[in-house]
Amino acid sequence: MRKIEKVLLVVNLHKPDAQRLSTEIISYLEGRGIAVEFLGLDGRTVPPKIGKVDLAISLGGDGTVLFSARMLQEQGIPILAVNLGTFGFITEVSVDEWQEAFEKFCCGETILSRRLMFRVTVTRDGKTVFLGHGLNDAVVNSTGISKVVTFELQLNDTMLGTFRADGIITATPTGSTAYSLAAGGPIVDSEMEALIVTPICPFTLSNRPLVVSGDDVIKIHIMEHQRTQINLTIDGQVSMPLEERDMITIEKSRSRALLALSNKRNFYEVVRSKLQWSGVTHA
């Protein structure tokens, strides 16, 4: 049995039925003597400080889970992700299943998936100007009219070369089914210890996606004489403008995202459903 005394309820207020389901969950939890801390998301990207809680329930989509994971990454708080729309790649629990999923979690019948997260450091003129964490991906890309960015890519102590592309994505296995997949990257089992490096529309077609060890350190050096503005984005939610000669270092975080998995469906069943792998042609 898991002892639950306080639950953090993270809700995407833009989702239909968010308020109704929030009221239902709060009433259920308080009826069992469980305190509830409510956090409504209405466009904020900077996670607030959260006190001691035993479980977070995320109501929304994958974006709500990503926000929750960054907010809770230092505290080791499990996240039960409930999807308020169609199934996401991360949110496996449907609206009708939340109570059953919660009770199974309390009874210790739920598997906790320990998802790899990453840490991003931006160094400028020898000083750290940005430090952030993410669960899905870190994207360096152009924001101006001219899309091509020139950068050097380094893996540990090995220089992999100079790349010209619309940008580059560094994704975790959890994020392999997001932007990286759309850019031609591979699908990687969400439980693996790996990082995926995917160039975005590379100028040279031989620049292909790489799957590297989760213990590897990836460095992206922004070259001089760029013809476009360049930006760093984490999980599609946190953004920072970059400058020429900036060094972006991406490595495995010491923290993990703890996701309570549904026993109704597994990762590959979700992938099969989302990507419509039915064996027939879809128009």
Among candidate residues 17, 42, 54, 62, the one labeled active-site is 62
Question: Can you tell me the distance from the alpha carbon of 44 to that of 199, in angstroms, rounded to the nearest whole number?
Answer: 29
Mapped onto helix, strand or coil, the DSSP state of residue 202 is coil
- Pairwise CA distance, residues 177 & 160, whole Å: 25
User: Phi/psi of residue 159, each to 5°?
Assistant: -80, 120
Kind plus residue range of the DSSP H or E element containing 270: helix 267-274
Tell me whether residue 137 is one of the annotated catalytic residues.
no
Q: What is the DSSP string of 30-94?
A: HHTT-EEEEEEESS--SPPP----SEEEEEESHHHHHHHHHHHTTTT--EEEEESSS--SS--B-
Q: Which residues are catalytic?
A: 62
